[in-house]
Amino acid sequence: MSSQSPRRVIPIKVERQSNLTAKERSAVLDACMRLKGLPGALLPILHAVQEALRFVPKDAVPLIARELNLSVAEVHGVVSFYHYFLQERPGRQVMHLCRAEACQARGGVALEAHVKATLGVDFHGTTRDGAITLEPVYCLGNCALGPSLMIDQQLHGRVTAERFDALITRRQEPT
Amino acid sequence: MRIYVPRDAAALGVGADETARSILAEAQRRGIAVELIRNGSRGLLWLEPLVEVDVAGTRMAYGPVQFNDVAGLFEAGFTTGKPHALSHGVTEQIPYLKKQERLTFARVGITDPRSLEDYKQHGGYRGLKTALTLKPEDIVASVTASGLRGRGGAAFPAGIKWKTVLGAQSAQKYIVCNADEGDSGTFSDRMLMEGDPFVLIEGMTIAGLATGATQGYIYLRWEYPQAKLALEAAIAAANAAGYLGQNILGSSKAFELEVRMGAGAYICGEETSLLESLEGKRGQVRFKPPLPALQGLWAKPTVINNVITFASVPIILDRGAEFYQHFGMGRSRGTLPMQLAGNIKHGGLVEIAFGMTLREILYDYGGGSFSGRPIRAVQVGGPLGAYHPESQFDTPLDYEAFAAIKGMLGHGGIVAFDDTVDMAAQARYAMEFCAIESCGKCTPCRIGSTRGVEVIDRLVAGENAAKQETILRDLCETLTYGSLCALGGLTPYPVISALNHFPQDFVKPVGASSAAG
């Protein structure tokens, strides 16, 4: 019964057109290779991708989905659920400003207005010169010494408007 | 010459690294050999960076020490404990610290959190050694007898949870530490993990022995990078010394431990949502039952407790259930590390037995408001806790006493507000926070929170105010009784307490425009 009728191959486009650079692509694949053996590997992989690329590019999602044998929707659902994962390329620095009650009690609301006015952006925005992306955060665990903000994982407490201006000026100087 | 400069995140946030560098540079310039120890924080946070100098075995405190104070301190002779404008005398004798009953935080700020040797010299791993001589059911019995209740907020008896897991039949069980300390006004988990990571590891290891679980996870929020460094260093040291791994201290018992990072979702502090997140999914709340104790992580029996709960276990095993049980009042046994935060003069960590009143902690420890204005409202128990007016300040810090006034102790966070606070804005923020952080699984929380913001806006704007208030109260009832978990279920606490205790803030002043936001 082994008739030689040619097998029909339905081409499946495994990967959509991707805009990832070769470097980005290899960073994503490297994170997957290193971590996909872990139980519940998706969050560790997303952390590794964001650590390497500073955000999780849209085109990384199908690649991660393929490596973990998940659907694109599942991976996208996870990336978009968590506030920490950035889906757009951020500025050179990411500033997380605390909006929670303990900081509010110490002038956090006024500081928030000052920060937005100084940077000229709202939350989730990036300054026009591409220097800083401003993100809200709900508690940095520095509630006795607020208002607090974090710049690239570095915590700053007792931030007044003046201290904020000094921080920004210091950081604008090239290092 | 031994000098201590904390590596605690709160200290780093006000310049501890710069202070430490400055001390080393100045010491070198003066030809003084200095052994610099980066300890945890003593919890006197208004004094950070708090530098301590070891003078013939006695630690002397100076703070807050900024980098440009260092030369002056050397000049004044602080290396021999001489007085200076920033000196506070013997650290242990500072009243804020001296009056505390530090059981869980016994070593925080004292030891070098990177040193296993230091941990052991200060009583560390004695609880584990006791546990290794006991049968699992005896460890569980000891934890039950101590009266220890979950310190994450829900206050469920730890021993009962452990007993359920011990009794569950499964080839694999898990120990999960909830280190997703997202409540505003709380930082005790962070301080403990940064200042004494080994005690958490020891507590989780004992939980593993007690229940037959061989794998543990610490689910840590991304906002705590210093805690991550401290935990990972401590886990590596514990593994190398045989306190973790496949053969704990030659007992042939196994326990492995791993840190996993959260990604900025308040809801992942809810235990079932945390388990979903650990499994690599969206942090959506699960229906209960099944209880996590029976079907938790990957549907296996799982002990999930807060950092402070696990960290309280070693001393219970070491000193005995009776010793721990002796502290506290009513059904709240032991100590609770309270966190004084917000508009408070002396913010910090205060570990005391249950039973002190809110007023005592606000004024005797906290010293009143930071701004010097009267304290008008205090939120206890995080963003889902009630706002308390001055008339309730004499309530004792006890789980049941706070439940009786429609509040909760939660994780022990106390956030003070002075008389400039707009309580309608705080109520609105509570609804807004719920809307931002809702996992979206149940309708009351997902939709109700957004509607809540709108109703409060209309109420404050004076659009048919009586009707809006009725709608708001009705909506809050729906959230309370119709939500799947505590996020939707408790958001009405801050809203209704603000409305009940501070109704004048919800009334639009005559002739003023909308005050919302």
Write out pLDDT tens, residues B3-54. 999 999 999 999 999 999 999 999 999 999 999 999 999 999 999 999 999 9
User: What is the pLDDT at residue A170?
Assistant: 72
- The chain B residue lying nearest A97, using CA atoms, is B223
Write out pLDDT tens, residues B2-16. 999 999 999 999 999
**Percentage of chain B lying above the pLDDT 90 cut:** 96
Give residue ranges of A with CB < 8 Å to any B CB: 39-44, 46-47, 74, 77-78, 81-85, 96, 100-106, 137-146, 148, 150, 153-158
Q: Which of A143, A148, A155 to mutate to test the interface with B (most CBs of B within 10 A)?
A: A143
- DSSP lists the bridge partners of residue B337 as B351
The closest CB to that of A141, out of B187, B282, B439, belongs to B187
The answer to whether the CB of B485 falls within 8 A of the CB of B384 is no
Q: How far is CA B244 from each of CA B236, B251, B258, B259, B278, rounded to the nearest angstrom?
A: 9, 11, 11, 14, 21
ipTM score of complex: 0.95
> Cα separation of B470 and B448, whole Å?
15
Write out pLDDT tens, residues B453-469. 999 999 999 999 999 99
User: What is the pLDDT at residue B334?
Assistant: 92
- Average per-residue pLDDT for chain B: 96
Give pLDDT tens digits along chain A (175 positions): 455 677 887 766 655 678 999 999 999 999 999 999 999 999 999 999 999 999 999 999 999 999 999 999 999 999 999 999 999 999 999 999 999 999 999 999 999 999 999 999 999 999 999 999 999 999 999 999 999 999 999 999 999 999 999 999 876 554 4
CB pairs < 8 Å spanning A and B: 153
Task: Name the one residue in this structure whose structure tokens are 């139980």.
Answer: A39
pLDDT at position B512 over 60: no
Q: Does B478 touch chain A (CB under 8 A)?
A: no
Domain A93-172 has CATH 3.40.30.10: yes
* Chain A positions in Cβ-Cβ contact with residue B260 (cut-off 8 Å): 40, 43-44
Q: How far is A80 from chain B (nearest CA, A)?
A: 9
Q: Please indicate whether, in this complex, the C-beta atoms of B379 and A101 are within 8 angstroms of each other.
A: yes
> Cα separation of A157 and A164, whole Å?
10
pLDDT at position B516 over 50: no
* Chain B positions in Cβ-Cβ contact with residue A150 (cut-off 8 Å): 223
- The chain B residue lying nearest A113, using CA atoms, is B517
ω into A136 cis (within 30 of 0): no
Structure tokens at B315: 């001393």
pLDDT at position B514 over 80: no
Q: What is the DSSP string of B381-411?
A: SSTTSPEEEGGGTT-BS-HHHHHHTT---TT
Burial of A20 (0-12, 13-18, 19+ CB in 10 A): middle
Pick the CATH number of B116-325 from 3.40.140.10, 3.40.1180.10, 3.40.50.11540, 3.30.460.10: 3.40.50.11540
User: What is the pLDDT at residue B503?
Assistant: 97
Which top CATH class is B2-98? Answer: alpha beta
pLDDT at position B104 over 50: yes
Write out pLDDT tens, residues B245-304. 999 999 999 999 999 999 999 999 999 999 999 999 999 999 999 999 999 999 999 999
Sequence ranges of the domains in chain A: 22-81, 93-172
User: What is the pLDDT at residue A34?
Assistant: 98
Write out pLDDT tens, residues B302-326. 999 999 999 999 999 999 999 999 9
Q: Please indicate whether, in this complex, the C-beta atoms of A148 and B13 are within 8 angstroms of each other.
A: yes
Instruction: Report the run of H or E that residue B378 belongs to, with start and end.
Output: strand B375-380
Provide mean pLDDT across the span B334-354.
Answer: 96
Q: How far is CA B439 from each of CA A173, B183, B443, B484, B488, rounded to the nearest angstrom?
A: 41, 16, 10, 10, 10
* Chain B positions in Cβ-Cβ contact with residue A39 (cut-off 8 Å): 279, 298
Kindly provide the residue ranges of all beta strands, DSSP E only, lying in A99-137, ordered along the sequence.
132-137
Task: Indicate the fold that domain B334-382+389-416 takes in CATH.
Answer: Ubiquitin-like (UB roll) (3.10.20)
The answer to whether the CB of B341 falls within 8 A of the CB of B415 is yes
Task: Indicate the fold that domain B423-506 takes in CATH.
Answer: de novo design (two linked rop proteins) (1.20.1440)
User: What is the pLDDT at residue B162?
Assistant: 98
The closest CB to that of A105, out of B9, B262, B415, belongs to B415
> Cα separation of B336 and B354, whole Å?
6
Q: How far is CA B81 from each of CA A90, B21, B63, B75, B257, rounded to the nearest angstrom?
A: 48, 20, 13, 12, 42
Q: Does B316 touch chain A (CB under 8 A)?
A: no
User: What is the pLDDT at residue B452?
Assistant: 98
Phi, psi of B435 (to 5 degrees): -65, -40
**Percentage of chain B lying above the pLDDT 70 cut:** 98
- The residue type of A151 is I
Q: Please indicate whether, in this complex, the C-beta atoms of A148 and B182 are within 8 angstroms of each other.
A: no
User: What is the pLDDT at residue A16?
Assistant: 63
Sequence ranges of the domains in chain B: 2-98, 116-325, 334-382+389-416, 423-506
* Chain A positions in Cβ-Cβ contact with residue B15 (cut-off 8 Å): none
Burial of B359 (0-12, 13-18, 19+ CB in 10 A): middle
Q: How far is B406 from chain A (nearest CA, A)?
A: 19
* Chain B positions in Cβ-Cβ contact with residue A77 (cut-off 8 Å): 282
Q: What is residue B88's three-state secondary structure?
A: strand
- The chain A residue lying nearest B194, using CA atoms, is A141
pLDDT at position B415 over 50: yes
- The chain B residue lying nearest A102, using CA atoms, is B342
The closest CB to that of A142, out of B13, B281, B298, belongs to B13
> Cα separation of B258 and B326, whole Å?
34
Q: How far is A82 from chain B (nearest CA, A)?
A: 6
* Chain A positions in Cβ-Cβ contact with residue B187 (cut-off 8 Å): 141-144
User: What is the pLDDT at residue A9?
Assistant: 75
